[in-house]
Amino acid sequence: MSAEAAALRLGTTVAKAAAQAWVGGKRREQERQLSMADLVRLRVPGLRLQRSVERQFEEIADAVFDRLAPFLEREFGGLDEGGRQAVLDGVCDTFAAADLSDGALLAADVNPAEVVRRVMRSVAAPTGLGEAEGRLYEVLFAECCEYYVRIVRGLPVFEERALGELLARTTSLGTEIARILERLPDRSLFAPEGTDRDAEFRRRYLELVSTSLDEVELFRRTSDRAAAQARLSVAYVSLRATGDDGGRRRARRRSLPLLRPDMSDWEDGGRSEAGMRVEAALGGSSRILLRGEAGSGKTTLQRWLAITAARGAFTGELAGWNGLTPVFVKLREYSGRPLPTPEAMLDSLAGHLTGVMPRAWVERQLASGKALLLIDGVDELLDGERRGVREWLRRLLAAYGDVRVVVTSRPAAAGADWLRREEFTPLHLDRMTPPDLAAFVRQWHQAVRELGEELPCAVEELPQYEQSLLNSLKDRPHLQSLAGTPLLASMLCAMHLNRGSQLPRDRMELYRSALHTLVHDRDTERNVPSAVDSRLSLGDKLVLLRDLAWRLSDNNRSEISLERAGGYVGRKLAGMRHLDEADGARVLEQLRDRSGLLRSPAVGRLDFVHRTFQEYLAAAEAAEEDRIGNLVGRAHLDIWRETIVMAAGHANRPQREELLGGLLDRAQEEPRHARRLRLLAAACQETVLEVSDGLAERLDAAVGALLPARRETDPPALAAVGTSLLRRLPRSLEELTEKAAVQTVRTAALIGGPEALKLLSGYVDDARQDVRQELISAWGYFDADAYADAVLSAVPLDEFTVILTHSAQWHAVSRLSSLSKLTVDYPCGDFTELERLPQLDALSMFQVPVGANVSPLAAQPSLTMLSLLAAGPMEGLEVLAGLERLDYLGITLRDLTKRATPKLPPGLKYLAMYGADPTTDLAFVSGHPNIKFVYLSAYETCLPGGIEALSTLPKLDHLTLIRVDVAAWLATPLPLMPRKGTLDLEACVLPADPDALNLSGVGVQIA
């Protein structure tokens, strides 16, 4: 039998099964035994329609044939004719005997890997197959199951009474299915035993991760089936993270060497309090608990980490993550069922590959320390289930202690110390600062440019839209505050692109406008046929969506079966007497396909595209149906926080009195929940338009009980109150403890705006170190020039490091006469700006572009500390020799000597070098007379080129090596250190004989 004949038979088998599922459905069992042609003739009326449907499924069979023929051509070569026939018969017989009904697919969560496992357990395997035939049988069946599931997911719902309409929608069905199958990675026969195919499987898996996660939905287009998808890798914008309870200060010191005690302030640079780029923060620890509010970008960050790891494209402080295998686990998929074992962790993302995954492959990745485990959405589980997540993580980390883990959650669901016993470093995703928001707007428009004809405007008009929005954000500060998270900023961008003249005033209006646009206006205005024919008004659609959102929230769920959701919609329609429509399933399908709010994460399942939309609509339903008492009773549960805040905005005056009064009553009666309930009542003021005098007094008293802020978690919660809170903050910090004063400054900074700037300018006389540091750190939340003039110019800066996070700050920093230590934490290659600055003592440039000319450093001869971290070679390094006072130098080694060999200043004592590899040439350090401390790290474990130069440093007494092959170095006659001192080794390859590290006069420490 030829490979082509086998592929044709398998393609026909898969297409027939899909046709039976589509037109046979749950009909009589004898109908399922018919051929595809006979089944079509039985179920489809009319010869023309029958022929058309048959052709569509023949095209589907051809699409499967195109996928399988090359595969079988490779794999049939090692089998005789009898073996080929036995394998083919086995696959077809198993397919015929398997339960591939809708119920079976839903029971397996429409997961191809789980479908294969269930079928293999329920259907006897063919007998008489040899080892090679058995492996090919397993691979072919798994492959065909994957195609079958993909095809069924792409089929429209079959309805006899609407067959003509369905036929019109399926005229290109074969082409669409072929396109779906083309996107699957090409397969080869992976060994189910042993590790000889691990590398090949990993390559295929990483390709799949790189493509399947690299998309983000920006807004709905007018086509009937899909949302506009842009590349996440293009749309992604780096955010900022702040350490919770001091956690990030520890993380930072783990990632950079502490060279000497008197340099600690410079090395930390105040970055713990200021908020650093989240990628840099992540690089400081192998276990991270990343907390962020709704829409703050947690899941997007996890997806970006996964695709960047898959491509090996990390740079900077995450460069050491290259080579890791990403494993992305969405916890919401495990609500109500056990958390996954290692072998099942890939099912969601790469289910069609797991059927041919080498046995124990995931376990080997975890055990080797080469896995990046991304656990998303602790907050999307119930409280009891969250405890299960913690226990699951403990067991996992006990077995695989070297794996890198990033866990995300909303703050209310997981405190900063939630995983402290497991030694997780807690980080908090900050709200976007004005420059962050500007960068987001630019990147968003760059991403949508790739959508071409799917845009609501001509591509060449995008720059005008972009600049118009940036101007609006600059001129209307309340919009900057409104768009403080990526979700809200994205909604604002999309709304501006669609209806540029109607930008919202507050968060509630933003949600309301976005809902109106997504649910109704865009389709109606553009005469989309399905919208024109619909009898449902905007109000009707919102009634149905509100009811569905409440039912999900009321059951503490974020996902529901389509069948149950259709039943809910049908019952709601029955009470809408002005409508003739009664088919809940059909209406639900239209809402899912056209509203932009609902989606099917898997066949047979339904959820909202973002949980925030569910919360907004559930809040509206609570107000409409007067379920305020229900909300008050659940107010202590963190999963209800956002719903209650938005319900306050939806409520009428009596309902607001009941809701907020109820929260404050419970705070008095229940001391255990008092602080949480008062914070919630305070946060509700963000969405409430007005309250009675009596309630206002009670709210003021509740806020007063929370002030001054003392905890790390207080400022974000209090800032939600808005500008009205500024009137409650003290004009002077003198009577506050240092800790409370710092949190008060941060609260005002998070609120932002002119009033906050005026308040902070009154704090500049406070002489406490941490207060001044927090004032410096707040710069990023305000206009660069205004803040520099009103605050920074009055703060003595000589003992602090000022951090520049965007280019607009360069113009202002030249006016800060007391500045002596400067860190530039954004890509900056224009060193000429240094000529305008006061004389600096310390300068750190963390993102120097490749090819940047550093010769203007000559304008700063007073430098004693300099760090230049670049992704590649720099120009003008000869300037270093002229910096005679330079005591410390940190530099990236990647391709450093390709253009010129740097000459080090003679007085240099401390040298930190990053990113070494086997091609590195360290000859430029040879024989330096004064260097006594060297820190050397490699991107990946290796013996860096020219490392023998370190043996020629006569005063070297402290050497730190990271990811260096020390065993290979010890095999040479050269000494690791030329004199007595300390040798620190971290993640290095060590000699098999421990005695080899007993170096005379050298104290060895191994991390």
- Predicted local distance difference test score (pLDDT) of residue 36: 59
The pLDDT of residue 303 is above 80:
yes
- Cβ atoms of 702 and 682 within 8 Å: the answer is yes
- Report the share of the chain in percent with pLDDT over 70: 84
- Predicted local distance difference test score (pLDDT) of residue 180: 57
- Predicted local distance difference test score (pLDDT) of residue 194: 43
Query: 176-190, 921-935, 987-1001: which has the minimum mean pLDDT?
Result: 176-190
- The CA dihedral of 690, 696, 698, 702, to the nearest 10 degrees, is 80
Beta strands in 838-957 (DSSP E): 842-848, 865-870, 888-892, 910-916, 933-942
Q: Return the structure tokens found at 309.
A: 């790891």
Query: 471-480, 673-682, 697-706: which has the minimum mean pLDDT?
Result: 471-480
The pLDDT of residue 412 is above 80:
no
- pTM across the whole model: 0.58
Residue 638 banded pLDDT, cuts 50, 70, 90: confident
At 437, is the secondary structure helix, strand, or coil?
Answer: helix
Residue 226 banded pLDDT, cuts 50, 70, 90: very low
Q: What is the mean pLDDT of the chain?
A: 81
- Predicted local distance difference test score (pLDDT) of residue 666: 96
The pLDDT of residue 123 is above 90:
no
Average pLDDT over residues 187-206: 62
Where is 405: in which H helix or E strand? strand 404-409
Express each pLDDT in 547-558 by its tens digit: 999 999 998 888
The pLDDT of residue 528 is above 70:
no
Q: How far is CA 758 from CA 250, 480, 743, 748, in A?
A: 33, 18, 17, 10
- Report the share of the chain in percent with pLDDT over 90: 28
The pLDDT of residue 976 is above 60:
yes
Question: Residue 458, Cβ neighbours under 10 Å: how many?
Answer: 9
Give the amino acid at 773.
Answer: Q
Average pLDDT over residues 556-571: 88
Nearest to 413 by CA among 375, 380, 374: 380
Residue 909 banded pLDDT, cuts 50, 70, 90: very high
- Cβ atoms of 56 and 95 within 8 Å: the answer is no
Indicate if the alpha-carbon torsion angle 339, 343, 345, 349 is positive or negative: negative
- Cβ atoms of 187 and 139 within 8 Å: the answer is yes
CA 228 to CA 448: how far, in whole Å? 9
Mean pLDDT: which of 109-118, 239-248, 882-891 is highest?
882-891
Residue 932 banded pLDDT, cuts 50, 70, 90: very high
Residue 822 banded pLDDT, cuts 50, 70, 90: very high
DSSP tag of 838: P
The pLDDT of residue 161 is above 70:
no
Average pLDDT over residues 300-305: 90
- Predicted local distance difference test score (pLDDT) of residue 122: 86
CA 706 to CA 701: how far, in whole Å? 9
- Predicted local distance difference test score (pLDDT) of residue 495: 79
Average pLDDT over residues 468-486: 73
- Predicted local distance difference test score (pLDDT) of residue 246: 37
Residue 274 banded pLDDT, cuts 50, 70, 90: very low
Average pLDDT over residues 943-967: 92
The pLDDT of residue 244 is above 80:
no
- Predicted local distance difference test score (pLDDT) of residue 254: 33
More confidently predicted of 234 and 992: 992
- Predicted local distance difference test score (pLDDT) of residue 984: 92
CA 777 to CA 796: how far, in whole Å? 14
- Predicted local distance difference test score (pLDDT) of residue 404: 93
- Predicted local distance difference test score (pLDDT) of residue 997: 86
The pLDDT of residue 798 is above 50:
yes
- Predicted local distance difference test score (pLDDT) of residue 124: 86
Query: 53-67, 313-327, 355-369: which has the minimum mean pLDDT?
Result: 53-67
Residue 793 banded pLDDT, cuts 50, 70, 90: very high
Average pLDDT over residues 557-562: 86
Nearest to 904 by CA among 921, 920, 926, 919: 926
CA 816 to CA 905: how far, in whole Å? 28
Residue 888 banded pLDDT, cuts 50, 70, 90: very high
The pLDDT of residue 885 is above 70:
yes
The interaxial angle of helices 347-354 and 131-154, nearest 10 deg, is: 140
- Predicted local distance difference test score (pLDDT) of residue 290: 92
- Cβ atoms of 808 and 784 within 8 Å: the answer is yes
∠ CA 652-658-664, nearest 5°, is 130
Mean pLDDT: which of 347-351, 519-523, 859-863 is highest?
859-863
- Cβ atoms of 628 and 659 within 8 Å: the answer is yes
Residue 23 banded pLDDT, cuts 50, 70, 90: low
Mean pLDDT: which of 14-18, 223-227, 289-293, 951-955 is highest?
951-955
Nearest to 441 by CA among 416, 422, 469: 469
More confidently predicted of 742 and 275: 742
Give the amino acid at 877.
Answer: L
∠ CA 297-601-606, nearest 5°, is 105
Query: 38-47, 492-501, 902-911: which has the minimum mean pLDDT?
Result: 38-47
- Predicted local distance difference test score (pLDDT) of residue 596: 63
